């Protein structure tokens, strides 16, 4: 049975998905390498090996992502196509969440916001706050740049040791701002703050920033579903923070299965019927 590969070639990581002729997901995989071309070919070879797919069964390769521009020829002489990254983000988010329309947020090194329907995908803006922010500040603050290690540290963190809340700065009751809401991220880092406190504070800052930008994007729109995708969705704190914002602002946040691979899935999607 023929196989379609969707590949998101990022700056340092390549994510790959494979679908068979029945539109069934065969599997997912991500590979890191020193350069995009090495990462791409390594991802394809690794995927085919892990999932026991002979090269001759692959009928189509679909590329997207910033690193796709480095590949001008066919991959292994297989018909190779390219899908614009924002289109892939939008289609992937809709497909995974099984929605007709949504604001799709891709949290990678930075964050992209895409308004997506089945017929039209529009990039409405972005933010430089994302995974790159987390890794850069973590390295500087507590000498750690491994995602898994940062996540483990954050589990035992206490935001009271790093963040300033509304109740810290006023005794007045403000209807639109609950006392526990953040007034300033990292606004009162105590001298006793631990690395765990700092790790949780960074995650809280990033997810609150992205979550509120999504609220603003949906404020004057009929779309109220936000599909969150990308590498940062691996953090359990994302669901906690988005759940709090959901209750406050009436926006529904969804982090679907395989959210990390949404862009690669969105690249493959237009070619599954081909």
pLDDT tens-place string over residues 180-189: 788 999 999 9
Are residues 133 and 166 both part of a single domain? yes
pLDDT score of 172:
72
- Which DSSP letter does residue 155 get? T
Burial of residue 235 (number of CB atoms within 10 Å: 0-12, 13-18, 19+) = buried
Are residues 111 and 72 both part of a single domain? no
CA distance 218 to 224: 6
Are residues 59 and 127 both part of a single domain? no
Are residues 225 and 113 both part of a single domain? yes
CA distance 59 to 55: 9
Query: Of 82, 116, 134, which residue sits at a domain end?
Result: 82
Are residues 243 and 107 both part of a single domain? yes
As a whole number, the mean pLDDT across the chain is 93
How many domains are contained in the chain?
2
Are residues 140 and 243 both part of a single domain? yes
Assigned domain for 96 exists: no
Alpha-helical runs (H) found in 34-188: 36-50, 85-97, 131-142, 147-154, 166-169
For 259, residues 6+ apart whose C-beta sits below 8 A from its C-beta are 96, 228, 229, 230, 233
Assigned domain for 28 exists: yes
What predicted TM-score, i.e. pTM, was given to this entire model?
0.92
Closest-CA residue to 248 (of 158, 181, 165): 181
Residue-wise pLDDT tens digits, 13-72: 899 999 998 889 999 999 987 788 888 999 999 999 999 999 999 999 999 998 888 888
Tokens in use for 153? Answer: 């540290």
In the predicted model, is pLDDT for residue 7 greater than 70? yes
pLDDT score of 35:
84
Given a contact cutoff of 8 angstroms between Cβ atoms, the answer to whether 15 and 263 are in contact is: yes
Expressed in angstroms, the distance from the first to the final Cα of the chain is 14
176 C-beta neighbours (distance < 10 Å), count: 6
Are residues 170 and 248 both part of a single domain? yes
CA distance 196 to 149: 10
Are residues 42 and 142 both part of a single domain? no
Residue-wise pLDDT tens digits, 98-119: 999 999 999 998 999 999 998 9
CA distance 274 to 272: 6
Are residues 71 and 124 both part of a single domain? no
Assigned domain for 70 exists: yes
Mean predicted confidence (pLDDT) in 113-139: 96
Are residues 122 and 242 both part of a single domain? yes
pLDDT score of 34:
78
pLDDT score of 174:
67
Mean predicted confidence (pLDDT) in 156-169: 91
Tokens in use for 220? Answer: 């004057």
Are residues 172 and 62 both part of a single domain? no
Burial of residue 167 (number of CB atoms within 10 Å: 0-12, 13-18, 19+) = middle
Are residues 58 and 110 both part of a single domain? no
Mean predicted confidence (pLDDT) in 134-138: 96
CA distance 14 to 229: 15
In the predicted model, is pLDDT for residue 177 greater than 80? no
- Which DSSP letter does residue 177 get? B
Parent domain of 209: 101-257
* DSSP strands (E only) in the chain: 3-9, 13-20, 25-32, 58-64, 80-82, 101-107, 111-117, 121-127, 164-165, 182-184, 225-229, 252-254
Residue-wise pLDDT tens digits, 208-240: 999 999 999 999 999 999 999 999 999 999 999
């Amino acid at each position: 049975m023929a196989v379609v590969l969707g590949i998101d070639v990022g700056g340092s990581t390549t994510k790959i998905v494979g679908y068979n002729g029945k539109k069934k997901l065969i599997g997912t995989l991500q590979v890191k390498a020193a350069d995009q071309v090495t990462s791409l070919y390594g991802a394809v070879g690794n995927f085919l090996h892990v999932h026991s797919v002979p090269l001759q069964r692959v009928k189509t390769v679909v590329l997207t992502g910033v690193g796709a521009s480095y590949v001008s020829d066919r991959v292994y002489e297989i018909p190779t196509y390219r899908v614009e990254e924002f289109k892939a983000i939008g289609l992937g988010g809709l497909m995974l969440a099984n929605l007709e329309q949504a604001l799709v947020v891709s949290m990678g090194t930075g964050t992209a916001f895409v308004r997506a329907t089945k017929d039209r995908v529009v990039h409405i803006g972005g933010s430089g706050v994302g995974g790159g922010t987390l890794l850069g500040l973590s390295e500087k603050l507590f000498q750690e740049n491994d995602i898994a290690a940062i996540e483990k540290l954050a589990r035992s963190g206490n935001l009271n040791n790093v963040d300033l809340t509304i109740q810290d700065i006023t005794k007045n009751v403000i209807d639109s701002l609950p006392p526990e809401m953040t007034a300033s991220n990292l606004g009162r880092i105590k001298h006793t703050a631990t690395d765990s406190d700092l790790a949780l504070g960074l995650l809280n800052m990033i997810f609150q920033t992205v979550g509120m930008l999504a609220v603003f994007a949906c404020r004057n729109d009929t779309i109220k579903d936000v599909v969150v995708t990308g590498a940062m969705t691996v953090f359990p704190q994302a669901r906690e923070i988005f759940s709090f914002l959901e209750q406050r602002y009436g926006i529904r946040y969804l982090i679907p299965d395989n959210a990390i691979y949404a862009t690669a899935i969105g690249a493959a999607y237009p070619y599954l019927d081909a």
